[in-house]
């Protein structure tokens, strides 16, 4: 059996055997989608959408490149910075 990742029906899926899942045959991947709204290209340094006064973006999409590690702490820091900026603007 080849390395199949999708099945058309439950009957085809039910034909899988334990030996189909050896660590030598498994292909795994994981990623954090990022860079689609990168700082300097889509948002500015304050996470404001370029050309907008009322839209801010704060998630992995604002990272201009992969940091090479899990981006969770960096995203948390950016969100706290954005929250402080929003609070300051309201006062």
Catalytic residues: 32
Distance CA 53, CA 49 (A): 7
Name the burial class of residue 43, with classes exposed (0-12), middle (13-18) and buried (19+) by CB atoms within 10 angstroms of its CB.
Answer: buried
């Amino acid at each position: 059996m080849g390395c199949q990742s999708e099945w058309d029906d439950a009957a085809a899926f039910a034909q899988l055997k334990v030996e189909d899942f050896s660590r030598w045959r498994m292909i795994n991947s994981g990623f954090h989608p990022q860079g689609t709204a990168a700082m300097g290209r889509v948002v500015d340094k304050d996470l404001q959408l370029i050309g907008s006064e009322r839209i801010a973006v704060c998630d992995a999409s604002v990272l201009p490149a992969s940091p090479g590690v899990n981006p969770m702490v960096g995203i948390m820091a950016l969100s706290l910075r954005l929250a402080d900026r929003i609070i300051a603007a309201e006062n």
